[in-house]
Amino acid sequence: MTSIGALNASIMGHSRLLFAGARVGHMPLIMGMIHTKYLTPWPAIFTLLAWGLAMLYTGGVTDMMEFISLFSTIMGVAVVIALLCLRWKKTNDHRPYRTMTFVPVIQLVVNVAILVLAIYQKPHRMGIGLAILFSGIPVYWLGVLWEKKPASFVELVEYLTVLSQKLLGIGKTS
């Protein structure tokens, strides 16, 4: 029961990262849309649901939980590195929450150690997890980095976005 609760929290929490990334242009536009009635980021939630199902069907529940732990650890490392970079590059910015620098540094060291040990102990399973994770790179390239898209591709994406908006009852946020 605890594993299911952790998975639920992970999907709901990480979907907000996709949502926030889309709002600042780092993910496809549709990931930044929310349901008009429930005000939840349905496209981001469904995307992570699809990833979760892909992970589940590549193994069992234990494997899926290992993959989720791997992804959470990688995301934790990325967030702490971003926090430390911002702390050193933008020292005068206002921060609503401050902590001593050694706290995120210790968290970074522990997360990197956990990541290295997980890959060392189960290189094949973690390799599959990393392959699933890195399979999102083409989506990022197609949706964000590719600037000179053909008109037919842009029209197809717009059509699919409008279709998704109608089917899911989602809209852009303000």
Return the domain boundaries, the chain.
1-57+137-169, 73-135
CA dist., res. 6 & res. 166, Å (int): 31
Tell me which of 22 and 7 has the higher pLDDT: 22
Count of alpha carbons within 13 angstroms of residue 36, beta-carbon side: 9
């206002």: which residue's tokens? 94
Looking at the predicted structure, is the pLDDT value of residue 2 above 70?
A: no
CA proximity to 28, closest of 47, 10, 9, 1:
47
- Span of 48-57, 77-86, 139-148 with lowest mean pLDDT: 48-57
Structure confidence at residue 1 (pLDDT): 60
Segment 76-94 mean pLDDT: 88
Counting residues of the chain whose pLDDT is more than 70, the rounded percentage is: 94
pLDDT digits (tens, 9 = 90+) for 10-67: 767 778 888 888 888 888 888 889 988 888 898 988 888 887 777 677 777 777 778 8
């964000």: which residue's tokens? 144
